[in-house]
Structure 1
Amino acid sequence: METLPKRKTPWMVAGMTLRMGLRERKKLATRAALSHAAWSLMVERGLDAATPDAIAEAADVSPRTFRNYFAGREEAILDGLVSCGASVVAALRARPAGEPLWDSLTQVLPSFVTAFIGRRDDIVALMRAVEDAPAMRAQHLVTFEHVHLQLTEFVAERTGTDADHDMAPRLMAAVVSTALRTAVETWATGDGDVALPDLIRESLTQVRAGLPIGAVAPAW
């Protein structure tokens, strides 16, 4: 079996809790290995190469095991991003309880998101796959909905609001998710002059300021 090259990916960064039992840790490790293999096949050889059988072989498991964890290759490819979202939210929850929400976001997101993203070329490959394949596009939307829900829960906890009835935490999470996505896509398709953490920080700063596009300077 051909071995995929080692590379830094979200699946290698997200940690496993020691409080889990051995069985749970093994299941989590298998899921992470499958997702890592799926992602690596896509970015190294293209989406067509990331078939369920090829993913299973790269992860050294049976095709049946793959089907036990994922409904299809699209879910496997993007599963690591869901795990990354959970890790970022965990880092946000670890911030001081009295810290203003925007300060927590600005302190955590630039560094944590950058650590999870990996190479610029990998994100370009993902963007291309999402653009070209309807099934990837649909799963991409599902993935971002997962991340949005995780952020919504955090915002509701931090602000003492009800995510099921109040619009504010959902709106805040949607705005932050879009700001992050815009920063990452700008970085991936840009000329590389601005580092990703700086783009994320700038994106959050503009949103926090109310997106002052076309603001008229005072007449004094």
Structure 2
Amino acid sequence: MLGVVTIVSSGRELGRRDRKKLETRAALERAALELVAERGLAGVTVEDISEAADVSSRTFFNYFSCKEEALTGKSPMSDAYVGEAVSSAPSELPVLEVLRRGLREVADHIQAGREQWMLRLRVFEQNPSLLSRLVVNGAETERVMADAVARRIGVDPVANGYPVLVAAVASAAFRVAMMRWSVQSARRELGDLLDEAFDHLAAGLPGPADPSDPGPLRSA
């Protein structure tokens, strides 16, 4: 489920024009989700989405190549943010912890937009043809993470399998947290579920002695 969220680094000061672009993009995404949830994917056109967002179809295509892309919430800034989070983390931190911290910020951003994300997940459940886009987006985000990890530890990502493996594991932890969050209708914080998944990884994935035990929990 990675690669489907717009993130802006807290250290980046956006100008008025950039803020307006983000607002327009968000309005188009929201309109697309609401219309598809109501009518189904086949019953919604780019023109419908543009009209609902009060922009022209030409403006729509400045942000998205098709209506399906508007539904995923994928932003060109998302992968850049993930790579930056890995590259800028303190050097003493283990790689797995670096990825957890970066993804926790993504999770917190998603949590803040809980209502729209619940709608997005429902739209994807109702329209399985959209899932292939999530797979492609997730694969691209994993590649960005792997490249950033390789640079961080000074290895060749092609010759050394570690960066690709740890990026795939981190991505899987995020997907599991997202699935649990969706099934539980966001009754628990997404960030807490993500931390729980990473705690399992850090502990070496031991099976719980008690089936009702959620596993190692991060102390407050």
For residues 73-115 of structure 1, the C-alpha deviation after alignment (integer angstroms, 9 at most, x for no partner) is 1112224455334323323322112322123233333244212
Q: Do the aligned partners of residues 72 and 193 (structure 1) sit closer, same or farther apart at CA in structure 2, a change above 3 Å counting?
A: closer
Instruction: Give, as a single letter, the amino acid of the residue that structure 1 aligns with 2:182.
Output: A
Task: Give the TM-score normalised by the residue count of structure 1.
Answer: 0.73
**Counterpart pick for 1:39 among 26, 29, 43:** 29
Query: Is 2:78 the counterpart of 1:90?
Result: no
Gaps of 5+ in 2: 210-220
The percentage of counterpart residues that share the same residue type is 28
Question: d(CA) in 1 for partners of 2:23 and 2:54?
Answer: 9
Task: Give the TM-score normalised by the residue count of structure 2.
Answer: 0.73
Question: d(CA) in 1 for partners of 2:194 and 2:208?
Answer: 21
The structural deviation recorded for 1:43 is: 4.0
Root-mean-square deviation (CA), in Å? Answer: 3.4
Q: Do the aligned partners of residues 198 and 71 (structure 1) sit closer, same or farther apart at CA in structure 2, a change above 3 Å counting?
A: same
Q: Do the aligned partners of residues 162 and 97 (structure 1) sit closer, same or farther apart at CA in structure 2, a change above 3 Å counting?
A: same
Q: Counterpart in 1 of 2:213?
A: none
Structure with more relative contact order (C-alpha pairs < 8 Å, separation 6 or more): 2
The structural deviation recorded for 1:163 is: 1.9
The structural deviation recorded for 1:176 is: 0.4
Query: Is 2:61 the counterpart of 1:71?
Result: no
Aligned residues: 202
Matches within 5 A, 1:23-172: 30=21, 32-45=22-35, 46=37, 48=41, 51-80=45-74, 83-172=77-166
Instruction: Give, as a single letter, the amino acid of the residue that structure 2 aligns with 1:40.
Output: R
Query: Is 2:171 the counterpart of 1:177?
Result: yes
Question: d(CA) in 2 for partners of 1:86 and 1:116?
Answer: 17
The structural deviation recorded for 1:182 is: 0.9
